[in-house]
Each structure stands twice: as structure tokens, then as C-alpha cells.
Structure 1
Amino acid sequence: MTTPPPEPTSDAFRQAMGRFATGVAVMTAVVDGVDHAMTANAVTSVSLDPLLLLVCVEREARFHDAITASGTWGLSILRASSRGTADWLATRGRPLHGQLDRIPVHRGPGTAVALLDDALATIECQTVNTHPGGDHTIVVGQVLSVDIIDHPGDALLYYRGRFGTLK
């Protein structure tokens, strides 16, 4: 007779998923003229027809209310050299107003959200659906625009609880 495996814990699950390297991006939205932003690595392409992208946002995060209220949002895929930006926009309790002041950005043509100038690529989306996902909300967006930046480079990755690169 086999022994059943131990009940999984959130700590064990977090450690296991930490072995799955992911890209790092910054999500942005505008609500009442105020920019909101957060670092994200729970990002997945969903469909090529129509073009759909999903992001998972913790319900307790300040950005959660912004993305659900705005209806449109941006995603900037970070370069390896953007570790400081990723750290800053992942800091809980940072000031809301002026949080993008030290990061060069431009406004997306379809949504007017802030998109990072130094990103490897930027994408603008309009929310088409949301789904409860435990302590997160799964936000599905239809892609409105894609801009692939001319200055290629290494992507910033998240692995085992730290930012890094493939090198």
C-alpha cells in the first residue's frame, strides 16, 4: 500500500513555482488622471485570434482596483538592465503619486497609459473578461497595440524569488 503524499502547503507551492523562470513586465493603468503601475510576472498569451493576453493581479494589491476600474492597461516587457525599475514598482507602500517620475515613459497611442521607453516590447489592452482566481483576479485583455522596440537585449527574468538573466 502506498502512502499518500503530504498535503501541499503554500510555501512548498511557492518554492516549486519559483523553479519556473518567468519574464518580468510592468503593468500600467490610468484612473482619474493618475498613473498606476506594478511589476508583474504572471503574464500569459492566450490567443492569436483574437489577440488576447492575461495577467493575474493580487486582489489586495493597490493596482487591482486600478486595473478593474480603468478597463484599459499597458504592459511593458522589461530589459535585464531594468532591475531597479522592477524592484521599485514591486515595493509595497510606495507613493502612488509620482511613482513613475524617475522612469522614462511615453503614452500609448490606443489607451494613453504610461509605457516604459526602455522596454523590449509594449502592449496595450482592453479588458474583455475577469475571473476569480483564489487571492488573485485573472484579467483577460484584447490586444489593442503592440510595439516591438528596435534596441533588442536580454530580458529580465524572475527565478527562485530573485531577478536575473539567462547569463
Structure 2
Amino acid sequence: MDDRTFRTAMGKFVTGVTVITTQLNNEVYGMTANAFMSVSIDPKLVLISIDENANMNQYVDEAGQFAISILNEDQQDMSAYFAGQVKEQRNINFNWFNDMPAIEGAIVNLTCDVHDSVVAGDHTLYIGAVTDVFVTDGEPLAFFSGKYKQVNGTANVN
């Protein structure tokens, strides 16, 4: 199979949209990611995946900690900005949470210490030990087949 077919197939899986942030030498760094998952409840562990060639990979590795913000359905612009799709510099107001920069207005903010990391193919998988969590009401921003989607409604399952 070719890379395009594989990428298209993976895009058929609906994901939420997150922004991963960290702080290193008093500078805040962030990136949009949809490769995020819960790993364990006891201990509380999550996983993020970062391209080996992304600057963020080095920042998370050196900082040893990161925050995950699960974006709400109205934060498509925040996702685009941290995905590098918006070229002008913006002044982002971060919600400082557990001494980590998190995205204001996100429906979930998690702070994590790097528990472990594994290079897998062209990405590094970071397992984060969750140190704190903030949850608020709201609907998540979703991503499907290369497009942003909103979650609205409930499926009827019998």
C-alpha cells in the first residue's frame, strides 16, 4: 500500500483535537495533535505522538513535562494556529495550570510529567503521567477525513 492510501484510511477514524504545550527556558511552545489517547487509570497515564522531525519533539523531551488541551467545538482557529496554518504571530492568553501553559477555553486541560518515551517509526510516543486535570462542560472539536467536524447529537444504539 502507498502512503496516501494509509493516510486516507487513518483519517477515517474520528478523533478529538488537542494542543500540546510545554515551557522550556521561559518560552512556551505548542503544536496541534490528534494523536492522543488514554493509556491507564491506575496509574493515570496518557499518550501523545510527535513527529521525530518536529521541533516540539525536542522541547517536550528537554522539558520533561507537557500539557494537553482538548479543544472545544469553537476553537478551530486555535487548532489552525498551533498547526502552523496561520502565519501571523498572535498573542495567546494561556491558562497557567499546574505551572504549565494550557489553552484557555478548552474543555479539558491535563498536565503531565514524561513517564516514558519510545521511538516508533517516524514518531516519538510520549507516555505522560497525569499530574492534574481540569474539566468543564462543552462539546469537543472533532477531526475526520482531513476536516474539522462538530459533535452534535447522539446516535441511537439499540
Give the one of 137, 145, 148 matched to 1:160: 145
Q: Is the Cα contact below 8 Å between 1:130 and 1:137 reproduced in 2?
A: yes
Q: 2:122 corresponds to which residue?
A: 135
Question: Which of 62, 74, 99 is the matching residue for 2:67?
Answer: 74
- The equivalent residue for 1:4 is none
Classify the secondary structure of the residue corresponding to 2:131.
Answer: strand
Stretches of structure 2 that go unaligned for 5 or more consecutive residues are 153-158
Gaps of 5+ in 1: 1-7
Deviation at 1:106, TM superposition (A): 1.7
Q: Please give the alpha-carbon distance, in whole angstroms, between the structure 2 residues aligned to 1:114 and 1:64.
A: 17
Change (3 A) 1:30 1:42: same
TM-score by length of structure 1 reads 0.86
Give me the whole-angstrom Cα distance separating, in 1, the residues matched to 2:100 and 2:123.
22
Tell me, yes or no, if the aligned pair for 1:29 and 1:70 is still in contact at 8 Å. yes
Deviation for aligned residue 1:117: 1.6
Q: TM-score, normalised by structure 2?
A: 0.91
Which amino acid is the alignment partner of residue 146 of structure 1? V
Which entry has the higher C-alpha Rg, 1 or 2? 1
What is the CA–CA distance in structure 2 between the aligned matches of 1:70 and 1:148, rounded to whole Å?
A: 24
1:123 aligns with 2:116: no
Give the secondary structure class of the aligned counterpart of 1:80. coil
- Tell me which residue corresponds to 2:155: none
Residues 1:106 and 2:95 aligned together = yes
Q: Hey, what's the Cα distance between the residues in 2 that align with 1:43 and 1:107?
A: 21
Aligned residues: 152
Runs of 4+ in 1 over 3 A off after TM superposition: 92-95
Residue in 1 aligned with 2:41?
A: 48
% identical equivalent positions: 28
CA distance in 1, matches of 2:83, 2:138: 22
Counterpart secondary structure, 1:81 = coil
Amino acid at match of 1:125: C
1:62 positional shift: 1.4
Alignment check: 8 A CA contact 2:80 2:86 kept: no
Counterparts in 2 of 1:159 and 1:126: CA distance versus 1, 3 Å: same
Q: Is the 8 A contact 1:104 1:118 kept in 2?
A: no
Aligned mates of 1:20, 1:11 — CA distance in 2 = 15
